[in-house]
A and B are shown apart, each in its own frame.
Chain A
Amino acid sequence: MVLRRRCGVRTLLRNGRILDPSQDLDEIGSVLIENDQVIQVGVVEDLTGIDEVYDCTGLWITPGLVDMHVHLREPGDEHKETIITGTQAAAAGGYTTICCMPNTNPPLDNPAIIDFILDRAASPEAGGVFVAPVGALTKDLKGEELSNLAAMKRAGIVAASDEGFPIQDSQVMSRAMVFCNQIGLPILAHSDDTSLSKGGCMNEGAVSAMLGLKGIPRTAEEIATMRNCLLSLHTGCPVHIMRVSTWGAVEIIRLIKSLGAPVTCEICPMHFIFTEDDIGEFDTKFKMQPPLRTKVDIELLQQGLQDGTIDCIASDHSPHASHEVDVPFDEAPFGASTIEATLGATLTYLTHKGILSPLDTIRKLSTVPAEILNLDGGTLKPEELPVAQITVIDPNVEWTFDRNKSFSKSKNTPFHRMKLKGKAMLTFSGSEIYRDAMFPAERYAIYI
């Protein structure tokens, strides 16, 4: 349910557990929104003129979630997803800001196409979440000449990335870092040595040996992670390593952080939940890039989340059409539709298992990604938000993810039929942009 509401109302989110990592806030209280902005957080005494009240008893009131890694597929692959369906899915997943990746067709490598993305995202049919585009590092994502990054920054990109087509030439990557550092643009690095991963379709290991599938060795990710980290260390450019999947990559990032490099990294839920064994009998829903690894990796990735080596959690929402995935395993594309399940999966597999505290969960899903990319959001501090960006979460609601009820065009997801505990109930970007069908009607009152 995506609702578009008028502005100017005085809205009270009452009696929830306010979790705001930006100010280490974890307390029961209320949040007042007026003219689309947060006015007060905590104790709200002036209740005059309230237009609407959401009873948030037992729920979390958090900064709107921020997803650094989303594929919206538009332009070029609108049969997989569009900016409209992707942003609607994001709102339903509890997100108020998402970063869309540049490997579209054509790629996001010039200011005109950035304008197009921002226009589409602001259209009334879109989900109402902020879309922060990520520009292609090199023209046409060929890994050769740098894109017009400064012009794209003026147009609105928040980072640059070679997502989907990792730059293999270290000289090109080094120069990209030097230039991006100069113009103040962080780099999101897809770390893959394609000379090692070429032709592979799953983790190289015991399961690939059994199924007779060509494997992708962990060294493909680790060598490229090390290179990108070393280049960050020596150029000073902030580099964010996307979707780590091996314990070795975590160790490399831990080392490079200790040396003072401005490196951050993310993990995607598939890599802290599933292993290569989940591929079963060639199930393409579990074909990921990087591939699903092993139980040992999951254990050490979770440690990396706990000790802060892994900074944040991103969905890597990579939608594909059904006909594209209903093919032999080695022919299927990598990735799956994940944005609506990421919060529930994180709460189920990390928070409820005691691996992350509630405050750390929100920190990794909202505050840190906003900080890494210097985005508005990730906080409930009124002065830091041009408009209120808030997610109300029921951490204990039990539900089953059903791809057929998803807003995403893609129904290809490993979370289909998965039982999850925890879900976004309300998403506010200024005003309400999403209210879940499971949010009880009696908890909402209008006084107009």
Chain B
Amino acid sequence: MSSNPTGTRNLIGIRNLDKESIVHLIDQAADFKKRVTAGDDVPKMTKTVIGLLFFENSTRTRVSFEQAAFYLGMRSSNFATTSSSMNKGETLKDTILTLRHERINGLVMRHKSSGSPILAAKHFGGPVLNAGDGQHEHPTQALADALTIMERKGSIEGLNVSIVGDVEHSRVARSNLWLLDKLGANVRLVGPRTLLPPQPSNLPGEFCDELEEGIHGADVIISLRLQRERMNEGMISSIGEYSSLYQINAETLRYANPGCLVMHPGPINRGVEIDDVTADGEYSAINQQVENGVFVRMSAFYWCFGGGAA
């Protein structure tokens, strides 16, 4: 995203990333995947210590970054928020400064506040990788999704991709939207109006509040997790009604193109946004997304620390 005199870069989001860098990150991930699965060598970064700073609960993303660090020979340190000084009232800035002076070389950060990795990068100096910030971006998830689509469909250019569900509150949706648009897909965002951005003019893609129309002719559907608290906030009438209107299942998939890929960033509410059969069906790429998450995070580390081109 941005580079500094030491040759390192931050990966904060997809919006400010050029197409060339995105393609490079995906290609590098594919290469790492090939090498790791074949048991071949990958570059080692044994002198690098990476801090995993997760201020929000996460299993799959955190483990995925840990695995990526492991394959690259990096050491990773976990900073769980429950046991960190943030619980004693320390500010994010001071936490970041502390880690910097403890000679941590790079940071992976998840935080509830949109934009917080930018603040972290300002004070940390070295590479900061955004592992999800508020409702803003989740760039490595989008890269994993892109790698998955490319593996299954060959290319992203010209594909019809529908992102279905709680778009307004989804950082995954925003990163996917920017990435897919930059790589030439036709993106549609589908969901009830209360869960779509009220004024989407700064976002690419088309917006649609009806599932049938929204996934008509889709080559890929990315279903988003529905958070149950949205019901208490009055954004949906009931979980049941939401499912009846927006669930991806064998019935609704008829509107999409044959062989439509079904994706989900997880964790899934089975039976809510997606039904069991579809989640485990032959066109589901959910497990592949998880697997690819490790390789794009390897690629992200490598790129952020100045490895590779672009």
Task: Enumerate chain A interface residues (CB-CB to B < 8 A).
Answer: 204-207, 209-215, 217, 281-282, 323, 326-331
Contacts and interface: CB of A to CB of B under 8 A. Distances in A.
Interface in B8-32: 15
Interface of B: 15, 91-93, 111, 113-116, 118-119, 133-137, 168, 171, 174, 197-203
30 contacts: A204-B198, A204-B199, A206-B201, A209-B168, A209-B197, A209-B198, A210-B15, A210-B174, A210-B202, A211-B114, A212-B174, A213-B114, A213-B134, A213-B135, A214-B135, A215-B198, A281-B115, A282-B119, A323-B91, A323-B93, A326-B119, A327-B93, A328-B92, A328-B111, A328-B114, A328-B115, A329-B113, A329-B114, A330-B114, A331-B113
B111 A209 contact: no
Given A211-B114, A329-B114, A205 B134 contact: no
Contacts of A331: 113
Contacts of B203: 206, 209-210
Contacts of A328: 92, 111, 113-116, 119
Given A209-B203, A212-B134, A331-B113, A281 B118 contact: yes
A336 B275 CA distance: 50
A282 B198 contact: no
A207 B137 contact: no
A323 B119 CA distance: 12
Given A206-B199, A207-B202, A329-B114, A212 B119 contact: no
A206 B171 CA distance: 16
Contact of B92 (A204, A207, A211, A327): A327
A212 B111 contact: no
Given A281-B118, A326-B93, A327-B93, A209 B113 contact: no
A206 B93 CA distance: 29
Most buried by B among A212, A281, A329: A212
Contacts, number: 69
Contacts of B92: 327-328
B114 A206 contact: no
A212 B135 contact: yes
A211 B200 contact: no
A282 B199 contact: no
Nearest to B119: A328
Nearest to A328: B113
Given A212-B134, A328-B119, A330-B134, A282 B200 contact: no
B113 A205 contact: no
Nearest to B133: A212
Most buried by B among A210, A328, A330: A328
Contacts of A210: 15, 174, 202-203
Nearest to A322: B93
A211 B136 contact: yes
A-B pairs, top 4 by smallest CB distance, nearest first, are A282-B115, A328-B113, A212-B135, A209-B197
A206 B200 contact: yes
A206 to B, nearest CB: 4
Given A211-B136, A212-B134, A330 B113 contact: yes
A194 to B, nearest CB: 15
A329 B116 CA distance: 7
Given A323-B91, A326-B119, A327-B91, A212 B198 contact: no
A443 to B, nearest CB: 44
